[in-house]
Amino acid sequence: MAADPLPNCPKCHQTDQIQKVTSLYGVNTEEWYETEQTGSGTHSSSRRVHHEAHTQLGLRLHPPSKPVGPTHPGWVWGIVGLILFIVLSALCPFALVPLFVLVPLLVPLLAGSAAPPTPPAIAGLPSGTTLVIIIGGGALCVGLAGLAVIIWLGLRLRRRFDRGLAEYREKKAAYEGDELPHWQSAQKRWEQLYYCMRDETVFIPAENKAIRAEDMEKYLYDSFFRSQS
């Protein structure tokens, strides 16, 4: 089956230097993947990395870049909140143990005493029970303080998350309602382009208007160019 005839260039009205942009971009672009290793030993991992190399013409005829959509804030704040909860839950109950127990026991040693004194008895209780009360009371106080800190941080994180979620929804609506459809339209128009190597212009045959290759992306997106076709 014979190939479709090439369209005339709107500027020079010739066909001998006309090529489809998609084909011309392909021969002026090289793509390959490389495997990159990270870490070492049992903790090593690998990932495939995409690379592209273009000639000057390939760069000029590059298709419109797909816009990047917004990232949902849930997983980020979820990880942050979980880490804070684990750290505070693990450390806060023991944060003041040195203040209640270790410091009184170490001070005599640092002062040159042969042995640290035993904790004083409380209301006739054995010194061991007194030590448990001191540690338990301190841990309880610090635990309550830690719980208050966790609640306070949780409320702040919740407010930050709500603001981030509202911004995400706004950006997502703009992305899906504006940015993505415009890119899809521009991508379809790019696939219809032809390039005249004599004049270094691009054009869509149905619109019959030659555009400089440097203005290609503007031509694909800008309604002004289309209205002038």
Is the pLDDT at 127 greater than 80? The verdict is: no
What is the spatial order of strands in the sheet that 201-203 belongs to? 18-20, 194-196, 201-203, 211-212
Task: Confirm if 31 and 52 have CB atoms less than 8 A apart.
Answer: yes
Is the pLDDT at 192 greater than 70? The verdict is: yes
pLDDT tens sequence across 153-168: 777 777 887 888 888 8
Indicate the average pLDDT of the chain.
75
pLDDT (average), residues 133-156: 68
**φ, ψ for residue 228, nearest 5 deg:** -90, -5
Task: Write down the pTM of the prediction.
Answer: 0.59
Q: How far is CA 140 from CA 22, 86, 135, in A?
A: 70, 17, 8
For 81, left (φ over 0), alpha (ψ -120 to 50), or beta? Answer: alpha
The enclosing H or E element of 38 equals strand 29-38
- Cα(159)–Cα(194) distance, integer angstroms: 52
Is the pLDDT at 37 greater than 80? The verdict is: no
- Cα(210)–Cα(33) distance, integer angstroms: 36
pLDDT of 41 reads 64
pLDDT tens sequence across 76-122: 666 666 676 666 556 554 444 444 444 454 445 445 554 544 444 44
Q: If you ran DSSP here, which 8-state letter would residue 211 be given?
A: E
pLDDT of 31 reads 83
